[in-house]
Amino acid sequence: MSISHLHAQQGPTFSASYDIYPNSQIADPDLSGGNAYLDTSEVKVSSMNWSVAYPLVFSEGRTVLVNELAYRNVMLDYSGFLPTDVNPENLHSIEYNATVTHGLSDRWSLMGIVTPGIASDFEASIGSDDLTFQAVVVFIRAYSERFQIGYGAA
């Protein structure tokens, strides 16, 4: 395989998952100030994830742009907490992910990832605290067809 011609799956892809994390106790809770109940409290976490991606190939296969839209809903179920405790029950995130990979030579390629998004419980109006942004740049060196190492920054 030559890195100068990158391969992308043809057409759109869709993925969905549902993850359940059983009840977990709070590790080393601060028991001062009337918080003794936290010693026996538990939180059950489950998440539902959906994403759809569509690759586009440019420059005779040397450049691949993958556009992805993803949604995640994290559901939290509290056990043993006081009824007056205000804890989020549903957290949502919506992200767009653009990944560009460009073959520089037979051994080197460059990958850039930009991911803006919104993460909120959507119980109040959306503010700047709800906006997210991630960026990654990676240079990838191929030592063989099956062994590559990336050097980068996030």
Residue 91, amino acid: L
Decide if 3 is inside a domain. Answer: no
pLDDT for position 9: 60
Rounded to whole angstroms, what are the CA distances from 26 to 22, 33, 83, 89, 91? 13, 16, 17, 16, 19
pLDDT (tens, 9 = 90+) of the chain, 154 residues, equals 344 445 556 789 999 999 999 888 777 777 777 777 777 788 899 999 999 999 999 888 899 999 999 999 999 998 887 777 788 899 999 999 999 999 999 999 999 999 999 999 998 899 999 999 999 999 999 999 899 999 999 9
Any domain includes 78: yes
Q: Within a domain: residue 116?
A: yes
Whether the pTM exceeds 0.95: the reply is no
Residue 91: count of CB within 10 angstroms of its CB? 16
Alpha carbon of 20 to those of 43, 70, 90, 105: distances in Å? 11, 19, 14, 43
- Domain residue limits at 81: 13-153
Q: How many domains does the chain have?
A: 1
What letter represents residue 38's amino acid? L
Q: Is residue 2 part of a domain?
A: no
Classify residue 6: in a domain, yes or no: no
Assess if residue 70 is contained within a domain: yes
CA atoms within 13 A on the CB side of 132: 13
CA distance 148 to 43: 40
pLDDT of residue 134: 97
Nearest to 38 by CA among 24, 49, 25: 25
Report the distance separating Cα 1 and Cα 142, nearest Å.
10
Kindly state whether residue 79 falls inside one of the protein's structural domains. Answer: yes
Question: Do the domain assignments include residue 67?
Answer: yes
pLDDT at residue 145, rounded to an integer: 86
- For residue 38, the cross-strand partners are none
What pLDDT, on the 0 to 100 scale, is given for residue 49? Answer: 97
